Amino acid sequence: MQLSRNLGTADRVIRLVGGAALVVLALMGTIGLWGWVGLVFVATAFVNFCPIYRLVGLKTCSDC
pLDDT digits (tens, 9 = 90+) for 25-37: 999 999 999 999 9
User: Phi then psi for 61, rounded to 5 degrees?
Assistant: -95, 145
Q: How far apart are CA 6 and CA 17, in angstroms?
A: 18
Model confidence, pTM: 0.87
Q: Residue 1: its pLDDT value, please?
A: 63
- The answer to whether 42 touches 36, Cβ cutoff 8 Å, is no
Separation of first and last alpha carbons in the chain: 17
- The answer to whether 50 touches 42, Cβ cutoff 8 Å, is no
- State yes or no: pLDDT of 49 exceeds 70: yes
